[in-house]
């Protein structure tokens, strides 16, 4: 992970922004043309001046988000389809997302499983996936403690993702955050996970607490590994984190417990995507190890009844 010099970064930014505004303008023009709308009609429906639309389409208008939303509505699209970065997705992607929007949350879950079974080597019941165990959850839950015990029991390598990230970057987690920022850390999480998936067929990984927050990384984790949420009660998380002396991701302040509760609350739906959960409050690591061994065991298939003959 090589840092760009601050001067290079500031030189790059305006150029990147200009290119982005040009692409946004071209997209608005193309979508307006597709709909057979003149600039005049679009301006009237969005309640902005025609000159403004002309500026936007030529890549010169840095629109406020409220105005852009009005333009998107007048075109008949959600604003997210105007502002996305990078090139336009293929038509099938657009059609598929329209189709998915019609499904209920339960149907969406089923659709994701079906698609991932069809297009990934490792399906839900694939024994290979059960040999790649990922422990997820907030700090102090017990991922590292249980991960080490589980790997030893299974006779497979134990990977501490945070250490892998540090090894690959040649810098400590603190330095990565301070020097390169959140975005670099998210990228490093994903690259480190991809790397261990490529290097090992079987492992136990104690992931970093924040790994679930980047949708691409979460998807990779859920479809490649058997995931277990290692959780504890908030007060127990706090007690353990304080005992370890490093309060991140909470601000090291009097509000740490409030921070922890709100981080946990915002991440709970993501951690809950794990296929199994173990709660470590009031249990010994050995008790939880037994529980883990049970939950990761492949489902027992009932034998076909013997045909009497």
Ligand X SMILES: O=C(O)C1=C[C@@H](OP(=O)(O)O)[C@@H](O)[C@H](O)C1
Ligand Y SMILES: Nc1ncnc2c1ncn2[C@@H]1O[C@H](COP(=O)(O)OP(=O)(O)O)[C@@H](O)[C@H]1O
Note the residues at the interface with ligand Y (CB under 6 A). 137, 139-146, 206, 230, 240, 280, 283-285, 288
Q: Which does 131 bind (CB under 5 to 8 A by kind): ligand X, Mg ion, ligand Y, none?
A: none
* 78 close to 71: Cβ distance less than 8 angstroms: no
The residue (of 193 and 230) whose beta carbon lies closer to ligand Y is 230
Q: Does 285 bind ligand X (CB under 6 A)?
A: no
> Which x/- pattern over 141-180 shows residues binding ligand X (rule: CB under 6 A)?
---------------------x----------x-------
With contact defined as beta carbons under 8 Å apart, do 69 and 48 qualify? Answer: no
For Mg ion, the closer CB: 46 or 193: 193
Q: Rule CB under 6 A: say whether 249 interacts with ligand X.
A: yes
227 labeled binding residue: no
User: What are the start-end ranges of the H helices in the chain?
Assistant: 6-34, 39-46, 50-57, 65-75, 80-83, 91-101, 105-119, 143-154, 161-169, 173-175, 181-199, 215-224, 234-244, 256-271, 285-296
How far apart CA 235 and CA 241 sit, in angstroms, is 10
Termini Cα distance of the chain: 68
Smallest separation, CB 285 to ligand Y (Å): 4
Q: Which residue, 31 or 278, is less far from Mg ion as judged by CB?
A: 278
Centroid of chain to Cα 280:
25
Question: Of 31, 140, 144, 224, which one interacts with Mg ion (CB under 5 A)?
Answer: 144
| 226-235 exposure pattern, b = at least 16 Cβ within 10 A, e = fewer | bbbbbbbebe
Shortest reach from residue 209's CB to ligand X, in Å: 2
Q: Where are the beta strands (DSSP E) in the chain?
A: 132-136, 158-160, 203-206, 226-231, 276-279
What is the distance between the alpha carbons of residues 82 and 227, in angstroms, rounded to a whole number? 35
Q: Which does 142 bind (CB under 5 to 8 A by kind): Mg ion, ligand Y, ligand X, none?
A: ligand Y
Taking CB under 6 A as the binding criterion, the range among 22-30, 33-41, 65-73, 205-213 that sits at the site for ligand X is 205-213
**What is the C-alpha separation between 249 and 26, in angstroms, rounded?**
41
- Segment near ligand X (CB under 6 A), from 92-100, 104-112, 193-201, 204-212? 204-212
- Binding site annotation covers 186? yes
Q: Which of residues 259-298 bind Mg ion (CB under 5 A)?
A: none
**Complex with ligand X: residue 57 or 160, whichever CB lies closer:** 160
Q: Which stretch binds Mg ion (CB under 5 A): 43-51, 120-128, 137-145, 258-266?
A: 137-145
Of 92, 95, 68, whose CA–CA distance to 80 is shortest?
Answer: 68
227 touching ligand X, by CB under 6 A: no
Which residues in this chain contact ligand X in the complex, by CB under 6 A? 138-139, 162, 173, 208-210, 248-249
């Amino acid at each position: 992970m090589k840092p760009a010099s601050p001067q290079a970064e500031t030189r790059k930014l305006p150029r990147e922004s200009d290119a982005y505004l040009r692409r946004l303008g071209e997209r608005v023009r193309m979508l307006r043309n597709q709909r057979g709308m003149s600039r005049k009609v679009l301006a009237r429906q969005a309640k902005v001046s025609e000159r403004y639309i002309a500026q936007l389409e030529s890549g010169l208008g840095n629109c406020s988000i409220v105005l852009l939303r009005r333009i998107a509505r007048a075109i008949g699209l959600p604003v997210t389809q105007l502002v996305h970065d990078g090139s336009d997705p293929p038509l099938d992607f657009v059609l598929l997302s329209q189709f998915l929007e019609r499904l209920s949350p339960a149907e969406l879950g089923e659709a994701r499983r079906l698609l991932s079974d069809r297009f990934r080597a490792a399906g839900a019941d694939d024994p290979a996936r059960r040999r790649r165990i990922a422990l997820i959850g907030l700090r102090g839950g017990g991922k590292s403690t249980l991960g080490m015990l589980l790997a030893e029991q299974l006779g497979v390598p134990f990977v501490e993702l945070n250490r892998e990230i540090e090894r690959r970057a040649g810098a400590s987690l603190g330095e990565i955050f301070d020097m390169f920022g959140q975005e670099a850390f998210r990228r490093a999480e994903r690259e480190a996970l991809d790397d261990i998936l490529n290097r090992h067929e079987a492992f136990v990984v104690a992931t970093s607490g924040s790994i679930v927050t980047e949708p691409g990384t979460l998807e990779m984790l859920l479809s490649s590994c058997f995931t277990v949420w290692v959780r504890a009660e908030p007060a127990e998380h706090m007690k353990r984190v304080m005992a370890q002396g490093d309060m991140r991701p909470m601000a090291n302040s009097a509000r740490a417990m409030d921070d922890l509760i709100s981080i946990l609350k915002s991440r709970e739906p993501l951690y809950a995507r794990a296929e199994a959960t173990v709660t470590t409050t009031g249990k010994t690591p050995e008790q939880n190890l037994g529980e883990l061994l049970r939950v990761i065991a492949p489902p027992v298939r009932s034998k076909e009844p013997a045909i009497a003959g």
